[in-house]
Chain A
Amino acid sequence: MNDLATYAFTSIGLFFFVAGSVGFLRFPDVFSRLHALTKADNLGLGFIALGIAFQAESWRLVALLFLIWGLMLLAAGTMSQLIARDALRERDGR
């Protein structure tokens, strides 16, 4: 049962990663690429964390997994904001 859940959720997570990567490669400019990467990948990572959580031996590990996810969300969000602002500044020629 747990294994089945792991397979299911990690597959969903991988799907989002693939989608994000395709978007990163196919989208035309920085902003839409960022959009593809951060949104899809954050979601994908969440599902993978969820999937692995079913294999965890203790609640401590589950908490750690989601702490990692939270930190990734924080970092990815901040970085995409910074990159976007830099790109905006460059576009406006400042």
Chain B
Amino acid sequence: MTLVLDLTLCALILAVALATVLGGGVFRAIVFFIVYGLLLSVAWVRLDAVDVALAEAAIGAGLTGVLFLSAFGKLSRIGAEAEPPAAGIRALLPAALACAGLTGALAWAWFALPVPERPAPDLATALPRAGIENPVTAVLLNFRAWDTLLESIVLLAALIGVWMLARDEDWHDRFGLPQHVRPGGVMANFGRLLPPVGVLVGVYLVYVGADRPGGAFQGGTVLAAVGLVAALAGLLRPPRVTQIVWRMGLVAGPLVFLIAGIVGAILGAGFLTLPEPIAGSAIFVIEIALVASIAVTLAFLVIGPPEQGHRE
């Protein structure tokens, strides 16, 4: 019975992925990609990885999908959404064969992989000392904290890169395109109703991340989405690059993380070492700052560089 479910799910995932690549039109590809992300998050649940399922649904399907859709909107506005005619099948045959070869090689590798002892025995002894119950959060924020710290900075690097794509004459304008909302309309009401619940859900995801699936990235994404809805509903006006408070919000998470790491190094415990008795609370503090920064960074990434001047 479960095998039938898995088979159906995998077949659906592959069909939607093929539709994404082969189907006509960019818009269709984007919509299929969002469906693909949602199906994939079901697959993650099947693989017993609920934390990943949440991340995939929120970030992979949700946020990435919104990014694609808003980019598509901007491209349509300048008449660059249509696709040029694709190359003929004959021209693409070598590429198709090479890609099939890659898939074949990976499939072969799966059957050739030795099965190592896992989870590593060292992990079992380390987990009780992590100061946190959820093993995935323990790996992210304690064992492999250096990865996570760099990752939060990767997010920031992407945002600065996106900001650099603003036109010079727009630099001091507000982020993104202005939204026109009818006061008292559907969107305005939705924007008023959703944020209280959304904030609750976001905070809850972070809070339960300590001992059950959830965490800073998943919660931060929900909070970013709440901010975006509020901006779409005209409740919040996107800020400008010159507003220092927001820029401080962007760096707060990585900075607190780094400072916690340095304090450990100075006190002699070691870089990014969280001594066992205080590990839980230290992770809590880091996580709060991280969530704030992730939410602000993600929301700004979606809104895009400043460009409101030309439309107002």
Contact = CB atoms under 8 A, between A and B. Distances in A.
Interface of A: 67, 71, 74-75, 77-78, 81-82, 85
Contacts of B186: 77-78, 81-82, 85
Contact of A71 (B187, B189, B197): B197
Of A67, A71, A78, A81, chain B has the most CB atoms within 10 Å of the CB of A78
B103 to A, nearest CB: 31
A82 B179 CA distance: 14
B248 interface: no
A74 B198 CA distance: 12
Contacts of A75: 190
Nearest to B197: A71
Contacts of B14: none
Interface of B: 186-187, 189-190, 193-194, 197
A82 B197 contact: no
Contacts of A74: 190, 193-194
B187 A78 contact: yes
Contacts of B194: 74
15 contacts: A67-B197, A71-B197, A74-B190, A74-B193, A74-B194, A75-B190, A77-B186, A78-B186, A78-B187, A78-B189, A78-B190, A81-B186, A82-B186, A82-B187, A85-B186
Given A67-B197, A74-B190, 13 more contacts: A71-B197, A74-B193, A74-B194, A75-B190, A77-B186, A78-B186, A78-B187, A78-B189, A78-B190, A81-B186, A82-B186, A82-B187, A85-B186
Q: Which 5 pairs across A and B sit closest by C-beta, in order of nearness?
A: A78-B190, A81-B186, A78-B186, A74-B193, A82-B187
Nearest to A68: B201
B168 to A, nearest CB: 33
Contacts of B187: 78, 82
A61 B130 CA distance: 29
A87 B187 CA distance: 16
Nearest to A84: B186
A88 to B, nearest CB: 13
B57 to A, nearest CB: 13
Nearest to A67: B197
The listed residue with most A CB atoms (<10 A of its CB), out of B186, B187, B194, is B186
Contacts of A77: 186
Contacts of B197: 67, 71
Contacts of A81: 186
Nearest to B200: A67
B75 to A, nearest CB: 17
Nearest to A85: B186
A77 B193 CA distance: 13
A75 B186 CA distance: 11
A77 B194 CA distance: 13
A71 B194 CA distance: 8
A46 to B, nearest CB: 18
B300 to A, nearest CB: 23
B183 to A, nearest CB: 15
A75 B225 CA distance: 13
Contacts of A82: 186-187
A77 B187 CA distance: 10
A94 B176 CA distance: 24
A35 to B, nearest CB: 16
Nearest to B193: A74
Contacts of B193: 74
A81 B188 CA distance: 12
Nearest to A81: B186
A22 to B, nearest CB: 18
A48 to B, nearest CB: 15
Contacts of B189: 78
Contacts of A71: 197
